[in-house]
Amino acid sequence: MRVLIIRNTPDARVVRRRGRQNREFYREADIECMRDALAAVGYEVDILEGDATLADNLLRTYADRDVFAFNVAYGVQGECRYTHIPSLLELLGVPYLCSGPRAHTLALDKYVTKVLIDRAGLPTPAFQLLTSADSVLDERLPFPLVVKPQFESASFGLQCVQNRAELKDAVSAIVTEFDQPALAEAFVPGREVNCGILGNAPPTPLPLVELDFGKATGQDWMATFEAKKARVVGHICPPDLPEELTGAVQALAVRAFQTLGCCDCARIDFRIDESGQLWILELNSMAAIHSDGSYYCAAKVLGWSYPEMLGKLLEAALARCAG
């Protein structure tokens, strides 16, 4: 079987550029590392661009071959960008890694994710969707607040505000720069951990990873895009947590994964407040699986090499597709 790594780059080909443009990409070195890792566990691997050329490439080159799409493309532009490649692969009948269009649509919409998690009885900080800087804030929502774009990931636009003036500026910046509403949620002081999920029957939680913010305190304990880019946020795996609390985080992660109907792989982000209460922040249905991310950080604790982790992801997806 040949594995097709489908990725996206800033040079993606489209008929025209329109709407919100994707800002999220794997580095070329990460894609090459994935190719080498999958080859190391016995697969023939090609790399394809997830853009307007993909359908023709698949039909012309792979129509009569046994192939599986290792999809790590975040999409190119417009709404629900995570869904574009899975939808095309569904249309063409090519099996693929990770969630389908429905789960990606739900997960990429941070507001809908929180509504579904809340209605499922899972704990998440109080929240409100603000469509403009003049939106009236619910009086029950206390400052400080975390503000983020509704449809972005990778912590783009994430910030913490202390008062109504800062909130107005933050919402205005998000509406202007990202052309979308802003999600405001209560800031939870405490520790931040995430839990990766691998597989489907049943979904298996990976060891927890705690984000290490160094000497930051209070509301500065946030994994902003700038902090990630500057690599000032470290990983502690496994974190020093009671076994019972670790198990509770993992159980909630599985429930969130199932609530949104995800497949194969995801990452759920949490805060643990000063009383030990757990709060689900968001779910990433396209968890970064490069070799220096938190997902692989957790896999290493299980004794897996990077090729072994990718092999297990592929095996889980193949089993789901066969089933």
Indicate the residue among 186, 202, 222 that finishes a domain. Answer: 186
pLDDT digit string, tens, across residues 191-228: 999 999 999 999 999 999 999 877 655 545 555 545 44
* Whether 273 and 169 share a structural domain: no
Whether the CB-CB separation of 298 and 237 falls below 8 Å is answered with yes
* Whether 278 and 142 share a structural domain: no
Domain membership of residue 144 (yes or no) is yes
Q: Find, among 186, 121, 175, 126, the residue nearest to 150 by Cα.
A: 175
Q: What is the DSSP letter of 188?
A: -
* Whether 211 and 249 share a structural domain: yes
pLDDT digit string, tens, across residues 82-131: 999 999 999 999 999 999 999 999 999 999 999 999 999 999 999 999 99
Q: Which residue has the higher pLDDT, 43 or 216?
A: 43
Range of 170's domain? 126-186
Q: Which residue has the tokens 């249309």?
A: 91
Q: Structural domain tally of the chain?
A: 3
What is the chain's Cα-based Rg?
Answer: 20
Domain membership of residue 101 (yes or no) is no
Indicate the residue among 138, 160, 186 that finishes a domain. Answer: 186
153 — pLDDT class (breaks 50, 70, 90) = confident
Q: Which residue has the higher pLDDT, 218 or 292?
A: 292
* Whether 169 and 193 share a structural domain: no
DSSP string, 63-90: TTS-EEEEE----SBSTTGGGHHHHHHH
Whether the CB-CB separation of 310 and 41 falls below 8 Å is answered with yes
Domain membership of residue 178 (yes or no) is yes
Cβ neighbours around 135 below 10 Å, total: 17
pLDDT digit string, tens, across residues 276-287: 999 999 999 999
pLDDT of residue 228: 46
* Whether 118 and 263 share a structural domain: yes
Query: CATH no. for residue 158?
Result: 3.30.1490.20
